[in-house]
Chains A and B, each alone.
Chain A
Amino acid sequence: MSKIVVDGLRKTYGDTVALENLSFEVEAGEFVIILGVSGSGKSTLLRCMCGLNEPTEGEIRINGKPMTAPRPEVAMIFQQHNIIGDMSAYSNALTGGINRTGFFSSIFQLQSKEEKRRALDALDTVGLLDEAEQKTRRMSGGQQQRVGIARALVQDSDVLLADEPVASLDPGSAQDVMRYLQRASNERNLSTFISLHQVNIARKFGERFIGLHNGKKVFDGYRDELTVEAIDKIYGDIDTDGMFANQESDGESSTDPQKEVTV
């Protein structure tokens, strides 16, 4: 089974320490949310987990094998979607299965029928089946991110990683994307890691939480353990009062000019 083991992970960029002595284990199919402020090491952790960055020390083992380079069994969803704007949602979804396709079949879309059905199935999971032939450049941010999720699903991985998937989305689309992520993860029994900085969304969708602060693990537990004190530990001296408000009032407060003046 796809057990994920992070063992004594340390990652430095020059003199900057991004991650320090990070260890945890996650069972297959768990839905984990990684919390922390910008620069706390969330992205670095996910990039190491999918093999884009190599750990300075320690290692990450997925299915027992250490991650040193990207592997098809780990799929990644990016904050900036990183899908191909000139191509349709369907063509983008197909690129998820690129590792099972030869060069010429992939550029001329000569994949097997099964592969094509898989792409449509993934688009259905993220609710974009009707928009399959639309160019992604003309889609909204939320839809583009869902195409990104579809591509990751077509990859048919064991592990799904999402680096700030909703950071650049409005509150409504953010919840949508999170719902689709949760659904995809449940339907396909994927071990899922999502990094977020919005506590309210995290609490709504997360089961297990890992909190990072300055590259160190400061919290690892389940929803009922995620107390105000725990969140204070993750977010340090940043005022977290507003983060417990629900989405609707959050939206209102950001449009309130009075509040912006006082900030």
Chain B
Amino acid sequence: MEESEPDNLADESRQETKTDRQVDETTEEGTVSETESTHTTTDGGVASQQPAENTTDEIEKQFENIKETRRQRAVGWAALIGVLGFLTYQGLSATEFFDDDTDFTWGHFSTRMTEYFPTTRVADLSVVSSLDGYYLWAVDFREYWAFIRDLNLIYDPEVGSLIFQFPINLTDLYTFVFVELGIFSVFGEAGTTLAMGLVGTVLGFPLALLFSILATERVLPFPFNFIFRAIMSFIRAIPAIIWALIFVALVGLGATAATLAIGFNTIGNLGRLFVEDLEELEDGPIEAMETTGANKSQIVFFGMLSQVRTSFIAWTLYIFEINVRAAVTVGVIGAGGLGAIVAAQQAQLNYEQMMATLFVIFVLILLVELFSQRLRARLRSDAEKRSWRELIFGFPARMADSLRQ
């Protein structure tokens, strides 16, 4: 019975197409007879024009169709923009834009802005007689630099003196690396911020990995995997800066609390990116591992993680980039690094110093992004690229090759 059903279905559909074809034929016949009748009443020219008129009708119909859909789309867009505009208006009210005590004091603002930029005379313009008494002014970057040095924003001379000396003192070098642990602290406050981002990422990664694996239905059946999804959603819902406020109770206000907060936040953020990848796994490699008789953890490692390895590394680098930025914002509550400096200088109304710190932040974030993006681009591209090791150690061989040619 079940066998013959598809055949019947196929027969039916075949019959349907047949009837369709018959209908087509009849309409064609109808057109033909019409044409013939026209032909009999008028001369041959009209008969040949008939199909052409049909086409114009079709074009006209299609034209109307298109016009109608365009009109509907325009109405839709207008309605959408209207609704959005109205919501924005409500929002502006909620954000106190229309309050009486919200003044846009542009004068005050521009005066303040000038305080961010220390200026200095670079040239006396009185050499030109008409410009007597005028000077050329410029932003004095020396003041920024002086401050960057004073507050050890990018370099800590106490730690740095251990390595930057000639001749190199091996005892000091040992002290620098293994006693002072100065790889980050030599870069002063910027080093602290960078370390917060790095350590946060490293602390968060294993738990993000574990939670994301447990959050997939392949590994844990339905209701249980959602527990881990819920945990990650909860962690994610609360920003790192709030987590830092919570961790202050554990370790006190400082870079430790900030780093723990960033690490904790990484579980939520990185875990979610991992889960998205793990949901799009192909069954094939997993089945292949099942048939080899692998145990469950081996199936997870070889069947699942092997498929997403590259993208997991790329996501982790991306989160590292975000975590360094988060280290700046979390620092603002006084939890160390460049963020804490910005907040302190702002509180002391030292706007020049604040601007100098912002420059350092800008450069640091830029470098981190550059590093992370380069590395990710390299991971994603399939082409075999020259590794650093090969670049250095392969140099003699390449020179020899070029000589031979």
Q: For the complex formed, measure the closest distance between the CB of A16 and the CB atoms of chain B, giving whole angstroms.
A: 9
Tell me the count of chain A residues lying within 8 A, CB to CB, of chain B: 33
For residue B302, CB closer than 8 A to chain A, the reply is yes
Residues of A within 8 A of B288 (CB): 76, 78, 82-83, 148, 151
Q: DSSP class of B's interface residues: helix, strand, loop or mixed? A: helix
Are the C-beta atoms of B284 and A98 separated by less than 8 Å? no
For residue A155, CB closer than 8 A to chain B, the reply is yes
Q: A83-B285, A87-B306, A137-B382 are in contact. Are A76 and B291 (CB under 8 A)?
A: yes
Residues of B within 8 A of A15 (CB): 2
The residue of chain A having its C-beta at the shortest distance from the C-beta of B383 within the complex is: A138
**Within residues 97 to 130 of chain A, which ones have a CB less than 8 A from any CB in chain B?**
97-99, 103, 106-107
What's the Cα separation between A178 and B210 when bound, in Å?
Answer: 41
| Segment of A66-74, A167-175, A218-226, A250-258 engaged in the interface with chain B | A66-74
Residues of B within 8 A of A80 (CB): 284
**Within residues 118 to 171 of chain A, which ones have a CB less than 8 A from any CB in chain B?**
137-138, 148, 151, 155
| Segment of B92-100, B268-276, B292-300, B327-335 engaged in the interface with chain A | B292-300
What's the Cα separation between A80 and B288 when bound, in Å?
Answer: 10
For residue A86, CB closer than 8 A to chain B, the reply is yes
Residues of B within 8 A of A84 (CB): 285, 302, 306-307
What's the Cα separation between A84 and B382 when bound, in Å?
Answer: 15
Residues of A within 8 A of B294 (CB): 95, 98-99, 106
Residues of B within 8 A of A137 (CB): 382
Residues of B within 8 A of A76 (CB): 287-288, 291
For residue A51, CB closer than 8 A to chain B, the reply is yes
Q: For the complex formed, measure the closest distance between the CB of A54 and the CB atoms of chain B, giving whole angstroms.
A: 13
Q: A78-B284, A95-B302 are in contact. Are A86 and B295 (CB under 8 A)?
A: no
The residue of chain B having its C-beta at the shortest distance from the C-beta of A96 within the complex is: B292
What's the Cα separation between A52 and B303 when bound, in Å?
Answer: 15
For residue B310, CB closer than 8 A to chain A, the reply is yes
Residues of A within 8 A of B289 (CB): 95, 98
What's the Cα separation between A218 and B272 when bound, in Å?
Answer: 51
Residues of B within 8 A of A74 (CB): 291
* Further contacts, 5 of them, CB under 8 A, given A52-B290, A70-B293: A84-B306, A98-B293, A99-B293, A99-B295, A107-B301
A/B interface sample: 14 pairs, CB < 8 A: A17-B3, A52-B287, A74-B291, A76-B288, A78-B284, A83-B285, A84-B307, A96-B292, A103-B295, A103-B301, A106-B294, A106-B301, A138-B382, A148-B288
